[in-house]
Structure 1
Amino acid sequence: MASTSTSGRGQQERDPFWVLEPPKKKIKSSLTAKQFDVFINHRGPDTKTKVARQLYDSLQEAGIRAYLDAPETELGDYFPSAIKNAISSAAVHIAILSPQYAESPWCLAELALMFQTKARIIPLFYHVQPSDFRYIKNGVAEAFSKHEEKGRFPSHDIQQWKECLQNVSCLEGYELNKENDDPSKLCDDVLSAVVKEKQKRKIPFQVAQYAVGLDELVKDFHSHCQRNGQMRDKIIGIFGMGGSGKTTLAKYLFNSKHSEFSGSASLFDVRENHVKGRLTSLQSKLLNDLFPGNHYSFSSIEEGTAYIKHELQRSHESRFLIVIDDVDHQKQLDALLPKDTLNPNSLVIVTTRDERLLIKFEVTVRYKMKEMNPEHSKELFCWHAFHTQSCKRGFENLVDSFVEACGGLPLALQVMGGHVFGSGMAYWKLQLDEAKARLDKDIRDTLKISYDALEEDQKQIFMDIACGRH
């Protein structure tokens, strides 16, 4: 039986991927927590090396998170889940329509899901005529004849795919043909359209699924970091162990304050991006967010640093809000934050696991994340374990034991609760023994310094639980 999803019109819509997936397949992707700005829908043999990859590189260099299957799909990912997550999170979809596009059921299923999300779709007609898709003729008609002959896909889905192609052919887009075959100009044009769309759709971050204790946390933060209703300094540091809620607090502050400033920028997962060699992409994103309409792209960190300093000096009268999340090296702050060039009334929020980094960078106002109190810990765990605020009868002692093992760490409470959700008491007891063995006092003390200090097998156990791998 086909799976369904609720559309914005209140109707039940068929999941376009169901016909491509094995029956009763339930595999989670490690990409489910990742967010993308752009999804590039394309048929690899036609366009990957000629257009799609060049477009992807152009977006990445500008600090825009694009999804092009291979670079973002990690070993062990379940491909349909990864693709669906990328499409659902992207604010802009780019459909590269090529001569053999309609032959790919994957491309057609992706396009159907793109239309369901209601996000903007930018078509790119690569050596094809829009009329071929609008009227389902020539090579497009031949491709559908083959789909129908093989009898692999239900008529409902084939009809839906045809309608999506007809609809996308009517959208404003770009054409590449023999007379107009300049991928570089195309990339510039698409980049401009994506940046404008991002600014238009500046959607608040989702702070937390269950915001347990958030009001008290924000109140405590303000009491520590404010004086007479104003921040005590233009740079505020938030530090604490991995999983203690630093990013959650930073997202809340960004959502609640960005409208007070003339410009804002959010740089999350700095440590991970640095490891992947994407520090220049973060530099580009910083300036593209602060100065929409310009397209910054840097070939070196030194070039990016110089541009950031120049642009901030040139706009010294402007007040900016900047979030720099999860830094672990002085080089990252030096590259992203030439602090002496900022307007004194700007606000920069830096999160890190290492307070020493903040001290070295001369951040004088520093807020230390605290462990959740027992009451909030129990409530957060229950939300994830039972999807209710309170404990299920008969599980009281087990819940208390799990909460104690997690030691007031929000991420651990969320992960452990989600891991046992829907399971019986015997499984709970088995997992509690595992949790106590892996999250004993020594390991929790190590976590307070950094998750990175864990042994590799301990990291893997924790990530296995986080990703729901039993």
Structure 2
Amino acid sequence: MEESSGCDYEVFLSFRGPDTRTDIADYLYVSMVDAGIRAYRDDEELRTGEELGDQLFQAIRQSKISIPIFSTGYADSPWCLRELVEMVESKNTRGQKIMPIFYNVAPSEVKYQNEHYGNAIVSHLNKKRFDDETINNWKAALKKVGELKGWDLHSMLNSNTIKGKGEFVKEVVNDVLTELKTAYLEVSDCFVEVDNHVGKIMSMIGAHSHETKIVGIHGMGGVGKTTLAKIVYNQLSNDFVDYCFLCDIRKTKITRLQNQLLSDILKKKWLDINNVMEGKKEIKERLRSKKVLLLLDDADDASQLEALVQKHEWFGKGSKIIITTRDRGILNVDETYELTGMDFDHSLKLFSKHAFRRDYPLEQYICHSERAINMCYGLPLALEVIGSLLSGKSEEEWDATLKELEESPQQNVRKKLMISIEALNENQRKIFLDVACFFIGYDKRIVIHLWESCKFLPHESLGIL
């Protein structure tokens, strides 16, 4: 009996040793392990004793997927039938997925227990080793799993649907990887006090409603929009089978985003989208019956949103869509939420998590920490980057680093913030520089009149700024 290393498994592989141990079971196990799947394979021929051990039960129960390989002799083994009953129990009580492989038997033979499977059940009855309840449980499990959608390898090979066992194993592993993929998105474990923001967005999006909702989160670069959106996405994810996270929209070709959206929701590689109009048509036609959870991160142009989520009717009832952007002006959504900088106390806590791995500064670094926080203006990105930069340094090194940062912002922060500047058109940049360099504290009406005379379109530009 062999299993992958580690204390938990993703896939439980059940098979009859003499039939498949050195054949499809071995190919499949090795390929799954090579693909990074934590797999447990049970070979009943290598086991001693009559009772299923705790380790075996645990492996079945904790696995997300069970794959029984139904070969000619599978039902001859009481061990395999016991495992099958436990798989069905795990499916009923814990939502485990069972993905059967019908190796050299038809699904109907398993479902109705005819031919060799019928003879195997009769043989177990005649031996009188097992009571009627046990036999009935075996028959019920065979019927239940025989009805499930799986892979009929015998039919596939005869119909030339696949070229051989190697290609078949590759298909199975790809399907298992797709099934194991979850909607959960990784987020930093150092975020601070986001419950209030999350609660408001969950209320906006109607977390428990059957209404399709599109919500936009906007704010300046580095303020934490993506982290907040990921947390909301994760909290919603348990209610969705179909989901997609489109990141870095600003940097990605629209047709590629359309292709990824279709592929992720439909769970198969989509044919290449040749143009945006074709992509819009495919999204509308293919996804309108799908209840989807969708996160579009870092959009900067209305045309991107029109190509991906133009109308509620493109998606099934109850779909939830979250958009993050720096530019509120591109949002044509049900609700918008503005995320602003953190206050001093929360900034100090976040900074301390990265600089000291605790919620508050060491006593000798309190003044240094306040100095660092004052240059971050409540931006989580800046607090994280600068806190990590200073972590583990001496007081003298803090002084030197802070002095350098005050003269020239840390490169990672500066690069992130420059995205907002680079997105401005020429008139908007001129107004931005005027405000930053000359007009601090001026009456807005006076400078607007000046900008209008220069044809800078100040009303539209100030809204964007």
* Aligned-CA RMSD value: 3.9
Give the match for residue 303 of structure 1.
278
Contact 1:309–1:338 (8 Å) recurs in 2: no
- One-letter amino acid of the structure 2 residue matched with residue 333 of structure 1: L
Q: Name the SS of the counterpart of 1:266 in structure 2.
A: strand
**Corresponding residue to 1:356 among 289, 311, 329:** 329
Q: Which among 262, 286, 297 is matched to residue 287 of structure 1?
A: 262
| Structure 2: runs of 5 or more not aligned | 8-29, 40-161, 430-465
Matching residue's letter, 1:292: K
Q: Contact conserved, 2:259 with 2:272, CA < 8 A, in 1?
A: yes
Secondary structure of the residue aligned to 1:325 is: strand
Q: Whole-Å Cα distance in 2 between the matches of residues 120 and 302 of structure 1?
A: 42
- Distance change in 2, residues 1:228/1:295 (3 Å): closer
> C-alpha offsets along residues 243-291 of structure 1, whole Å, 9 cap, x if unaligned?
11111111111111122234211111111223xxxx3332222112211
Change (3 A) 1:439 1:230: farther
Residue 383 (1) aligns with residue 333 (2)? no
Separation of aligned partners in 2, 1:227 and 1:299: 35
Match of 2:182 in 1: 202
How far did residue 323 of structure 1 move? 0.8
1:386 to 1:330, Cα distance in 2 relative to 1, 3 A: same
Q: Deviations over 1:184-229 (max 9, x none)?
A: xx99996885364133231621121312112232134345x26796
**Structure 2 equivalent of residue 320 of structure 1:** 292
Query: Which residue of structure 1 aligns with residue 404 of structure 2?
Result: 434
| 1:266 correspondence with 2:238 | no
The offset of 1:401, in angstroms, is: 1.0
* Equivalent position amino acid for 1:200 in 2: L
Contact 1:240 1:448 in 2 (8 A): no
Aligned to 1:257: 236
In structure 1, how many angstroms separate the alpha carbons of the residues matched to 2:168 and 2:232? 33
The CA distance in 2 between the partners of 1:374 and 1:355, in whole Å, is 26
Q: Is the 2:291–2:319 contact (alpha carbons within 8 Å) kept by the matching residues of 1?
A: yes
Q: Deviations over 1:44-88 (max 9, x none)?
A: xxxxxxxxxxxxxxxxxxxxxxxxxxxxxxxxxxxxxxxxxxxxx
Change (3 A) 1:232 1:424: farther
SS at match of 2:296: strand
Gaps of 5+ in 1: 1-6, 11-92, 96-113, 122-181, 456-470
Residue 218 (structure 1) aligned with residue 198 (structure 2): yes
Q: How far is 1:453 from its partner?
A: 5.6
Residue 424 of structure 1 and its aligned partner are, at CA, apart by 1.4
1:334 matched to 2:302: no
Once residues 453 and 430 of structure 1 are traced to their aligned partners in structure 2, the CA distance between those partners, rounded to angstroms, is: 33
Residue pair 1:242, 1:450 contacting (<8 A) in 2 also: yes
The answer to whether structure 1 residue 374 and structure 2 residue 349 are counterparts is: no
**Do the aligned partners of 2:205 and 2:213 also contact (CA within 8 Å) in 1?**
no
Q: How many residues align?
A: 274
Instruction: Decide whether aligned partners of structure 1 residues 228 and 419 sit closer, same or farther in structure 2, where only a CA change above 3 A counts.
Output: closer
Distance 1:227 1:233 in 2: 9
Instruction: Check conservation: 1:192, 1:295, Cα contact below 8 A.
Output: no
Corresponding position of 1:343: 316
Q: Distance in 2 between matches of 1:325 and 1:429?
A: 37
TM-score scaled to structure 2, two decimals?
0.51
1:352 Cα deviation from its structure 2 partner: 0.5
**Structure 1 residues 118, 344: closer, same or farther in 2, change over 3 A?**
closer
Give the residue type in structure 2 aligned to 1:332: Q
Local SS of the residue matching 1:395: helix
Residue matched to 2:362: 392
Overall identity of the aligned pairs, in %: 31
Q: Check conservation: 1:447, 1:453, Cα contact below 8 A.
A: no
1:354-387 Cα shifts (integer Å, max 9, x gaps): 00111xxx22410000211211110111111111
Residue pairs, 1:67-216, within 5 angstroms: 118-119=36-37, 193-194=173-174, 196-202=176-182, 204-216=184-196
Query: CA 1:273 to 1:213, structure 2 compared with 1: closer, same or farther past 3 Å?
Result: same
1:434, CA displacement in angstroms? 2.8
One-letter amino acid of the counterpart of residue 366, structure 2: E
- Provide the C-alpha distance between the structure 2 equivalents of 1:338 and 1:319, rounded to a whole number of angstroms: 16
CA contact (8 A) 2:220 2:326 kept: yes
> Over alpha carbons, which structure has the higher Rg?
2
Contact 2:178 2:267 in 1 (8 A): no
